[in-house]
């Protein structure tokens, strides 16, 4: 079920699309497309857990910290 949720998220939400692109095109240990989607499903579970259990709001910038170049750009700004 999570996989079916992840497909439109990757297609329409820029943050999930960028993470999927990073996971599939990174230099060290690139994932296949299906592996990347499963990794993003796991990430979605962690996001939902934080939102429900701890009351955190969804933050795209915090989620994007998995991409090293994105973290470097936001730290430099």
Per-residue pLDDT tens over the stretch 1-28: 889 999 999 999 988 998 999 899 988 8
pLDDT in tens, 25-77: 988 889 999 999 999 999 999 889 989 998 888 888 888 877 776 555 444 44
Report how far residue 3's alpha carbon sits from residue 56's, in angstroms, rounded to the nearest whole number. Answer: 23
pLDDT of residue 65: 78
pLDDT of residue 75: 43
pLDDT in the model for residue 71 = 53
Judging by beta carbons within 10 Å of its beta carbon (0-12, 13-18, 19+), is residue 72 exposed, middle or buried? Answer: exposed
């Amino acid at each position: 079920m999570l996989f079916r949720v992840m497909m439109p998220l990757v297609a329409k939400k820029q943050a999930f699309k960028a993470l999927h692109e990073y996971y599939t095109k990174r230099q060290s240990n690139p994932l296949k497309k299906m592996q990347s989607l499963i990794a993003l499903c796991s990430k979605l579970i962690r996001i939902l857990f934080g939102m429900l259990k701890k009351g955190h709001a969804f933050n795209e910038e915090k989620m994007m910290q998995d991409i090293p170049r994105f973290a470097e750009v936001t730290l430099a700004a």
